[in-house]
Copies of this chain bind each other. A is one copy, B any other.
């Protein structure tokens, strides 16, 4: 039976897992679980992942949640995955674990929370939370600075050196990509000072094309719609009308 990937491409760790499968030719079935409709909160989905979060996979009788754990499992259990994604060498592998662990308590607390609380919340019927957005912005700026000064300080192409990405590059870059839906000025203000991060995002994108762009298509669609709404709002004399959009229709 084919590997099942439960995902919503609006969720950044879902995208990382899907891109990984596509780039590595893993035969899988993608099952969309629409977060904006609360489909991840149903009792049916709790049978797949009792934590009610995305992504999750089912491989035969084996179920697994948490995207980093899934990426590692796929790299180890499926033949044909190139070594650079998750090297067999214990030292290189440990460095990947270290970046991924750091990601949880740092970068991960930035882009998603910031984007939700400045932009996407109304589309999910939630209120915006400026305090949470401010906190998230701090996490984001501090995390991007650390990525630049620690892992990319010698102009490395990828976080752990070398000419090919690892699962750590893919996971972190997919998180940062969430910033695409922001107002362009805001996004530039956040990412602008981090030239090395920008180059690294581009390197990771190039190394995983055409799948990277294809899997991010939904995000770009949301970005475009939000931009149109913003211009319309500006022409109408201001006021956001993002409430009219619905993520589940994209």
A101 close to chain B: CB less than 8 A = yes
A72 close to chain B: CB less than 8 A = yes
Q: How would residues 87 to 104 of chain A score, 1 for a CB under 8 Å from any chain B CB and 0 otherwise?
A: 000110111011011101
Which residues 154-194 in A have Cβ within 8 Å of B in the complex? none
In the complex formed, the residue of B with least CB distance to A91 is B62
A37 close to chain B: CB less than 8 A = no
A98 to B69 CA separation, bound complex (whole angstroms): 5
Taking a contact as CB atoms under 8 Å apart, the answer to whether A98 and B146 are in contact is no
Q: Which residues of B contact A95 (CB under 8 A)?
A: 64, 69
Binding site secondary structure of chain A: helix
Tell me the number of copies of this protein.
2
Which residues 26-80 in A have Cβ within 8 Å of B in the complex? 50-51, 62, 64-69, 72-73, 76-77
Q: Which residues of B contact A97 (CB under 8 A)?
A: 66, 68-69, 72-73
Taking a contact as CB atoms under 8 Å apart, the answer to whether B50 and A101 are in contact is no
Given contacts A51-B146, A76-B90, A77-B90, contact A64 B98 (CB under 8 A): yes
In the complex formed, the residue of B with least CB distance to A150 is B50
A100 to B69 CA separation, bound complex (whole angstroms): 9
Taking a contact as CB atoms under 8 Å apart, the answer to whether B64 and A101 are in contact is no
Q: Which residues of B contact A76 (CB under 8 A)?
A: 90, 93-94
Q: Which residues of B contact A68 (CB under 8 A)?
A: 97, 101
In the complex formed, the residue of B with least CB distance to A153 is B50
Binding site for B on A (CB under 8 A): 50-51, 62, 64-69, 72-73, 76-77, 90-91, 93-95, 97-98, 100-102, 104-105, 108, 146, 149-150
A-B contacts, 19 of them at CB < 8 A, read A50-B146, A50-B149, A51-B102, A51-B150, A64-B94, A64-B95, A64-B98, A65-B98, A66-B102, A67-B101, A69-B94, A69-B100, A69-B101, A72-B97, A76-B90, A77-B90, A100-B101, A104-B105, A105-B108
